[in-house]
Amino acid sequence: MTYLPAAARYESMPFRRCGRSGLLLPAVSLGLWHNFGHVDVMETYRAILHLAFDAGITHFDLANNYGPPPGSAEENFGRILRSDFRGYRDEMVISTKAGYRMWDGPYGEWGSKKYLMASLDQSLRRMGLEYVDIFYSHRPDPDTPLEETMMALDLAVRQGKALYVGISSYSAEQTEQACRILRELGTPCLIHQPKYSMFERWIEGGLLDVLKREGVGCIPFSPLAQGMLSDKYLKGVPADSRAAKSHGALQEKALTTTRLQQIGELNKLAIKRGQSLAQMALAWVLRDERITTVLVGASRPEQLADSLQCLNKLSFEGEELARIEEILQL
């Protein structure tokens, strides 16, 4: 069946400026780490992409290694781009990354120019794209000079293979240095992609201040702590959940008694606010104006539809924020 995007797709999605750049990103973006690989069901992830675009999600986040198997999320996304989204490329912001192990030998991971440039070429081929909108260094490399990694990002832009560049999981200090090098090279850092949720708050200890000062956007990944910040694990581990999947990155042992108690209390608060826990968790991440967009995942369209409703109630009373802090101290 031919897919025709919803005419009203820009009516309800707020767009937020990415740092001090010209680029606006939707408040909710979609990540393709899980659920878009060859192990997954095409009709399901195709429906997720349709729903996303219909709801005003213009930003799709990938990486060379997403699958499994690695590379297959880019292949599958590329196939659907060609079949369903032909003519809509200019309404999309597509990102990819390189940093984790992708092929054998010494040039298949980390932060050398050799690896990053080869990986970007492979990603473009898999997706069938001439360029990506954002190319990231996926993780800092302790052994490669930061200058070399940043020069590779700059080169990708100069070669027309990426429009903007970003970094992921760099510390506040590394981010400051990376931003300085990129600025000197003439390719400013657009965005940082860190892990951030109610359960993972390291970026509050300095990184967010650096991003604000440097004019860099922020797109937190795993804002639902891979699904823990929802009501799904309150009655055990569902068979189709990430914690139950052998290739899922969420381990059942993360669901400790304390975690489950926190999730239960947060769920009660969310219900009081008239939203699901997933919606409240996303609104909580978006409460800080330094956050550009939340990068969610979804294993089925209904989840994304639920998550998108966070936009109906983004604000918090002081008391609600205080209660969240209390629960997170449990």
Residues that bind ligand NAP (CB under 6 A): 31-35, 61, 138, 168-169, 193, 221-227, 230, 232, 241-242, 278, 295-299, 303, 306-307
HEC profile for 64-77?
A: CCCCCCCCHHHHHH
With respect to ligand NAP, which residue has the nearer C-beta, 181 or 278? 278
Whole-number minimum distance, CB 318 to ligand NAP, in Å? 26
| Tokens of residue 106, six digits | 């010494």
| Residue type at 81 in one-letter notation | L
Residue 106 to residues 96, 102, 167, Cα–Cα distance (Å): 21, 11, 22
Whole-number minimum distance, CB 33 to ligand NAP, in Å? 3
Give the 3-state secondary structure of residue 30: strand
With respect to ligand NAP, which residue has the nearer C-beta, 212 or 300? 300
Examine residue 68 and say whether the peptide bond preceding it is cis (omega within 30 degrees of 0).
Answer: yes
Asked if 118 contacts 148 with a C-beta cutoff of 8 angstroms, the reply is no
Q: Put residue 208 in one of left, alpha, beta given phi > 0 → left and psi -120 to 50 → alpha.
A: alpha
| Tokens of residue 114, six digits | 């050799």
Q: Residue 8 CB: number of other CB atoms within 10 A?
A: 10
Whole-number minimum distance, CB 213 to ligand NAP, in Å? 22
With respect to ligand NAP, which residue has the nearer C-beta, 33 or 85? 33
Whole-number minimum distance, CB 14 to ligand NAP, in Å? 18
Q: To the nearest 10°, the Cα dihedral for 80, 86, 90, 93?
A: 0
Whole-number minimum distance, CB 3 to ligand NAP, in Å? 21
- What is the rounded CA–CA span in Å between residue 153 and residue 146? 11
| Tokens of residue 78, six digits | 């590329």
With respect to ligand NAP, which residue has the nearer C-beta, 188 or 248? 248
Whole-number minimum distance, CB 103 to ligand NAP, in Å? 19
HEC profile for 248-285?
A: CCCCHHHCCHHHHHHHHHHHHHHHHHCCCHHHHHHHHH
With respect to ligand NAP, which residue has the nearer C-beta, 97 or 161? 97
Whole-number minimum distance, CB 223 to ligand NAP, in Å? 5
With respect to ligand NAP, which residue has the nearer C-beta, 2 or 162? 162
With respect to ligand NAP, which residue has the nearer C-beta, 61 or 154? 61
With respect to ligand NAP, which residue has the nearer C-beta, 87 or 300? 300
Whole-number minimum distance, CB 288 to ligand NAP, in Å? 17
- What is the rounded CA–CA span in Å between residue 251 and residue 232? 14
With respect to ligand NAP, which residue has the nearer C-beta, 61 or 133? 61
Whole-number minimum distance, CB 221 to ligand NAP, in Å? 3
Burial letters for 174-185: b for 16+ Cβ neighbours within 10 Å, e otherwise? bbbebbebbeeb
